[in-house]
């Protein structure tokens, strides 16, 4: 009888563990209400790194990182003016005017976008949006909204203010907000991209050292896809530093602290870490930086070394013994495809 009770106790513990893991840990980060989002992907196997596929793997990493920043800029740009304009968020951006209307009337506010389409803002801000504060929540629905930035947005996401330091009506502030329930399609002239998040991710705008503006993106199961590729960013922090000085030559884009797992078009996972920040003139190929790509299971690696804007060296360790088995040369443009 005693043994039976201990067996039952063990069974209770196992059931408790299974139900905890199976329920996803009980986080309620996507908020209590909102649209249904697609489920997170099942983890595929790690991608084997070989000499033959090194360029394909590297290309996927480069495209992956590039997409993250594109989407971060788009989502941020729909709410905030793009640098180098001085932020002055509350008085210069139509979306914030909608926030204010919503707060004042308690009803959803709709406005037309600059070129075509419309955006509707609703939500439950805790305070007047002129003084944004933590937990203020807004829901945005875009109907083919084209603000003349070269793309249109269709879909919806929420904005939950996480942290605000300084005054967003000036050049100097630090604003962090989360975007739960993202289901957005971005249409360009040459195709569409979709973005969805099973959980929330965070964007932080830091202009404390303006004109240097830092945009950081912390993804949590953020899925990006095009017709050809599918990426899922599961963890890590991406940050982009933009010097909004008029001189283009002083404008830098930087990727740092990235430690990501990515579901790549090779049908598997690859781990990559930006070991030396990438630095590039705005909108151009990076001139320096280093990314270490690795298979999480074995020790196979590719070290992507950016020698210059026209040369990228790939150091491939295909057997995981710590020595370079092959070195290949390519360009950032070629990897981007």
Partner 1 sequence: MSSGQVLFRERHLPVEIGLIFTAVAALSLGTAVYLLDRDWANSIFLGTFIEYQWPRSAMFGAFGGFLPALLHAYAISVLLIVVLWPWPRTRVWGCLLWFTIASTLELLQSGVGEACSIALERLLGDIALLGYLKSYAFHGQFDTFDLFATGVGCLTALAVTIAVEQYRQRT
CB of 121: closest distance to partner 1 in angstroms? 19
Sign, CA torsion 296/297/299/304: negative
Of 63, 67, 204, 220, the residue at the interface with partner 1 (CB under 8 A) is 220
Query: Prior bond to 84 cis, omega within 30?
Result: yes
Q: Which among 28-36, 149-157, 186-194, 306-314 is the span making contact with partner 1, rule CB under 8 A?
A: 28-36
In a 13 Å sphere around the CA of 189, the CA atoms on its Cβ side amount to: 3
Asked if 30 interacts with partner 1 (CB under 8 A), we say yes
Asked if 208 interacts with partner 1 (CB under 8 A), we say no
Bridge partner residues of 294 (DSSP): 271, 301
Asked if 42 interacts with partner 1 (CB under 8 A), we say yes
Asked if 17 interacts with partner 1 (CB under 8 A), we say yes
Asked if 36 interacts with partner 1 (CB under 8 A), we say yes
CB of 178 or CB of 265, closer to partner 1: 178
Asked if 8 interacts with partner 1 (CB under 8 A), we say yes
Asked if 191 interacts with partner 1 (CB under 8 A), we say no
CB of 265: closest distance to partner 1 in angstroms? 19
Of 127, 128, 131, 235, the residue at the interface with partner 1 (CB under 8 A) is 235
Asked if 320 interacts with partner 1 (CB under 8 A), we say no
CB of 84: closest distance to partner 1 in angstroms? 34
Asked if 107 interacts with partner 1 (CB under 8 A), we say no
Strand 259-264 to strand 152-166: parallel, antiparallel, or no bridges (unpaired)? Answer: unpaired
CB of 281 or CB of 320, closer to partner 1: 320
CB of 90 or CB of 260, closer to partner 1: 260
Q: Return d(Cα 230, Cα 224) in angstroms, integer.
A: 6
Q: Which of residues 244-263 bind partner 1 (CB under 8 A)?
A: 261
C-alpha dist (Å) from residue 262 to 246, 253, 258, 268, 337: 35, 21, 11, 8, 18
Of 3, 32, 246, 322, the residue at the interface with partner 1 (CB under 8 A) is 32
Q: Which of residues 48-77 bind partner 1 (CB under 8 A)?
A: none
Q: Return d(Cα 67, Cα 11) in angstroms, integer.
A: 46
Query: Prior bond to 211 cis, omega within 30?
Result: yes
User: Alpha helices of the chain — where are they, by DSSP H?
Assistant: 2-22, 54-77, 89-92, 94-105, 332-336
Give the dihedral of Cα atoms 320, 324, 330, 334; nearest 10 deg.
10
Those residues whose C-beta lies under 8 Å from the C-beta of residue 212, and which sit 6 or more positions away, are: 241, 242, 243, 244
Of 181, 216, 243, 262, the residue at the interface with partner 1 (CB under 8 A) is 181
CB of 35: closest distance to partner 1 in angstroms? 8
Interface size with partner 1, residues (CB under 8 A): 44
Q: Are 272 and 293 in contact (CB under 8 A)?
A: yes
CB of 283: closest distance to partner 1 in angstroms? 32
Asked if 24 interacts with partner 1 (CB under 8 A), we say yes
C-alpha dist (Å) from residue 305 to 86, 116, 327: 34, 43, 11
Q: Return d(Cα 249, Cα 192) in angstroms, integer.
A: 31
Structure token digits, residue 219:
């993804």
**Residue carrying structure tokens 């697609």:** 38
User: Phi/psi of residue 110, each to 5°?
Assistant: -115, 140
Q: Return d(Cα 124, Cα 32) in angstroms, integer.
A: 13
Asked if 28 interacts with partner 1 (CB under 8 A), we say yes
Asked if 133 interacts with partner 1 (CB under 8 A), we say no
CB of 32: closest distance to partner 1 in angstroms? 5
Binding site for partner 1 (CB under 8 A): 2, 5-6, 8-9, 12-13, 15-17, 19-30, 32-34, 36-40, 42-43, 45-46, 181, 198-199, 220-221, 234-235, 261, 296-297
């Amino acid at each position: 009888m005693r043994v039976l009770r201990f067996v039952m106790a063990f069974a209770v513990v196992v059931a408790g563990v299974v139900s905890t893991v199976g329920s996803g840990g009980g986080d309620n980060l996507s908020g209590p209400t909102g649209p249904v989002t697609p489920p997170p992907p099942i983890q595929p196997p790690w991608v084997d790194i070989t000499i033959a596929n090194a360029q394909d793997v590297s290309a996927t990493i480069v495209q992956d990182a590039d997409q993250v920043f594109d989407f971060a800029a788009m989502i941020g740009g729909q709410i905030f003016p793009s640098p180098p304009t001085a932020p002055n968020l509350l008085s210069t951006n139509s979306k914030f005017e909608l926030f204010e209307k919503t707060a004042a009337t308690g009803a959803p506010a709709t406005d037309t976008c600059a070129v075509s389409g419309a955006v509707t803002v609703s939500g439950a801000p805790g305070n007047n949006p002129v003084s944004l504060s933590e937990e203020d929540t807004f829901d945005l629905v875009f109907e083919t909204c084209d603000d003349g930035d070269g793309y249109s947005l269709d879909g919806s996401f929420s904005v939950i203010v996480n942290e605000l330091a300084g005054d967003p009506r000036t050049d100097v502030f630090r604003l962090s907000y989360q975007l739960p329930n993202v289901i957005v399609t971005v249409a360009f002239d040459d195709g569409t991209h979709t973005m969805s998040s099973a959980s929330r991710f965070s964007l932080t705008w830091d202009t404390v050292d303006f004109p240097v503006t830092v945009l950081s993106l912390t993804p949590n199961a953020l899925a990006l896809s095009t017709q050809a590729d599918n990426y899922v960013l599961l963890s890590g922090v991406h940050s982009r530093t933009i010097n909004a000085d008029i001189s283009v030559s002083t404008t830098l884009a930087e990727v740092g602290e990235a430690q990501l797992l990515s579901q790549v078009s090779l049908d598997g996972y690859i781990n990559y870490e930006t070991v030396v920040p990438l630095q590039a003139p705005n909108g151009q190929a990076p001139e320096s930086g280093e990314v270490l790509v690795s298979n999480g299971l074995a020790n196979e690696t590719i070290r992507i070394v950016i020698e210059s804007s026209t040369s990228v060296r790939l150091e491939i360790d295909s057997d995981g013994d710590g020595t370079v088995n092959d070195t290949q040369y390519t360009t950032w443009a070629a990897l981007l495809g």
